[in-house]
């Protein structure tokens, strides 16, 4: 190999190496500080909402005071308060990935299993009702939040529709439009939780009532 080739190869290696510089201790420390500040902002906002604060009156000044961070730090972590609420929404709905909704597709599904599924979902809502109520409030007059919230509910409806399709795939009683049924059911669940769930007792009552409605839909047989 010629000296020029060696120089060329060395230069290539040098250029490749400079594309992905190692993470410095300072950069890692900065990342950890941002993550900590982000968590503090989310926790502070959650506390304000839990105390009964309306989203409309939830200013960035109040958030940073509650979180114990500066306005500059807030803007490093979030572009505005809508982004904070949107992140809280994602966290409040994270249960949708872990509630074992696949039981809806099981032809041997029992009423007890369905009751347990709905109780789990509604209890999750009740645990985060302050945050979720704030999101619903914001979605009523904020187009961007409305789009985000509708997207989140649509994700849950799509998950239910997938299970309905599997359940009725070979049944003569299958629905013509499981997507529409899933969408209606999911929005019924959202409205019922938002309007009617206020404590543990009402959460159980509403969960079992919704389970009754869904059970009659799932167990319907053509006369």
Spatial separation of the C-alpha atoms in residues 164 and 50, rounded to whole Å = 36
* CB crowding 34-60: b at 16 or more within 10 Å, else e: eeebbebbbebbbebbeeebebeebee
By the 8 A CB rule, do 136 and 77 touch? Answer: no
- pLDDT tens digits, one per residue of 17-68: 555 556 687 777 777 888 999 999 999 998 888 887 677 778 999 999 999 9
Q: Give me 71's structure tokens.
A: 């306005």
Whole-Å CA distances, 101 to 50, 79, 96, 151, 217:
29, 34, 8, 19, 16
Which pLDDT score is estimated for 22?
A: 63
Residue 48: which H helix or E strand, with range?
helix 25-50
Res 1 pLDDT > 60: no
By the 8 A CB rule, do 203 and 125 touch? Answer: yes
Which pLDDT score is estimated for 20?
A: 58
- pLDDT tens digits, one per residue of 55-79: 777 899 999 999 999 999 999 999 9
By the 8 A CB rule, do 104 and 156 touch? Answer: no
Res 87 pLDDT > 80: yes
């Amino acid at each position: 190999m010629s000296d020029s080739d060696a120089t060329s190869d060395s230069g290539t290696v040098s250029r490749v190496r400079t594309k992905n510089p190692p993470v410095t201790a300072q950069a890692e420390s900065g990342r950890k500080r941002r993550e900590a500040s982000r968590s503090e902002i989310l926790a502070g906002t959650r506390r304000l909402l839990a105390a009964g604060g309306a989203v409309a009156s939830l200013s960035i000044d109040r958030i940073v005071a509650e979180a114990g961070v500066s306005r500059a730090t807030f803007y490093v972590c979030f572009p505005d308060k809508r982004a904070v609420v949107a992140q809280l929404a994602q966290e409040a709905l994270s249960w949708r990935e872990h509630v074992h909704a696949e039981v809806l597709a099981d032809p041997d599904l029992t009423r007890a299993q369905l009751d347990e599924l709905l109780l789990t979902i509604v209890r999750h809502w009740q645990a985060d009702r302050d945050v979720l109520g704030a999101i619903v409030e914001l979605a009523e007059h904020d187009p961007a939040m409305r789009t985000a919230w509708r997207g989140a509910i649509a994700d849950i409806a799509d998950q239910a529709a997938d299970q309905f399709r599997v359940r009725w795939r070979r049944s003569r009683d299958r629905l013509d439009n499981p997507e529409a049924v899933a969408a209606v059911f999911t929005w019924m669940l959202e409205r019922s939780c938002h309007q009617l769930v206020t404590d543990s007792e009402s959460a159980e009552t509403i969960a079992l009532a919704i389970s009754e409605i869904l059970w009659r839909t799932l167990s319907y047989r053509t006369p």
